Amino acid sequence: MLRLASAIMTSAPKRVPIPRNGVDYRGKIVLAPMVRSGELPSRLLALHYGADLVWGPETVDRSMIGTTRKVNEALSTIDFTRLPSHGSKDPRQDQRESLIYRLHPEREGRRLIFQIGTSDPERAVQAARVVAKDVAGIDVNAGCPKPFSTSGGMGAALLQTPDKLCAILEALVKEIATEFEIGISVKIRLLETHEKTEALVRKLCATGITGLTVHCRTTPMRPRERAIRGQLKMIADICRENGVACLMNGDVENRDQAEKLIEEFGVDGAMIATAAEANSSCFRSEADGGLAPWKEVVEQYIKTSMEVENRWGNTKYLLNHLIPGKQPVYREITQSKSYQQACQILGFEHLEAQAKEVDERIGITPESQMPQGKRGRKNKTAMAAGGNPTNL
């Protein structure tokens, strides 16, 4: 019996200990980090429909360093804001703060992973320290192929400098994971060959991370190209050997499909991106109702956006994804200029009074909704164009 018990213990998969304030990625279906589409109301919407964890959009280290953490009692959020770095002749404009990151501690805090864009270990630690006590984990973006990320040596560019990437992760594990007791993870893409991917994953797993997400495409590939899953089992096996949770990303469309892929490829969890952008109820299993009608999802999204006073431009951006392009209201929504207008267009009369109040609070005035050429000269200011400075 002792010999059998010993054999079972020996064969049990190794696991990196989950920090006290961290989260285990195993068995989770999660929202992917998406610039513009991953702001607070989108994350809350995904959680509403059953996402287990949510990744915030990639936030560049330099933008977080020097921000001020503020408790927003009116919205029950925590806001990270900063004054503009450039000077201005108008002293009033010098005092206007930009909102860099907003999170909701009660509704998402212990399920939120903050993704950082970085190319330097010291800056990564500085930026992570600003937000670490308010999130469940810090994730390093080593997979974004877009120039705004790679031009600074961040994102997918880090795949070509694996020693630098490992140094960043090791610094975060040593400084942030230890101090705040949260996990550090990384999101990567596939490299050109099976051998290169294997070597990279082994290096990354040795840094002390608790999770690794692999986007099953190479850097040059675009979303329309089919995800490559041939290397997934190899990557999952290496992660398991090192006790690191492995999540897959790429062409995952809903919870039921995700669970089948997890079983088929032996990964620990799955990440949904584009499908969640189009309909956040993709996190709901068929047994729990499956995909909800688009109008139901849109109504829930508008309600959530108003609750946290999300910047209208960002709200409209996601509405243009959530509303099918063939719907008659789609074109009207693309031309709308306020929450109140959107509610009128969509027939949400019961939300119009709230929408009007939110518009006023974020600085959207009737005059600012007029065509550009008809606005008075006094409205050619940043305030008239966008509203509340802390919602930029």
Q: Would you name the residues annotated as active-site residues?
A: 144
Whether 270 and 262 have beta carbons less than 8 Å apart is answered as yes
Backbone CA torsion sign across 251, 253, 256, 258:
positive
- Those residues whose C-beta lies under 8 Å from the C-beta of residue 361, and which sit 6 or more positions away, are 309, 388
Cβ count within 10 A of residue 14: 9
Q: Which long-range contacts (CB under 8 A, 24 or more apart) does 1-8 make?
A: none
Whole-angstrom Cα distance, residue 392 to residue 388? Answer: 7
48 membership: H or E segment, kind and range? helix 40-48
Pairing of β 53-55 and β 59-60 = unpaired
Whole-angstrom Cα distance, residue 97 to residue 391? Answer: 9
Residue 186 phi/psi, 5-degree rounding, is: -145, 150
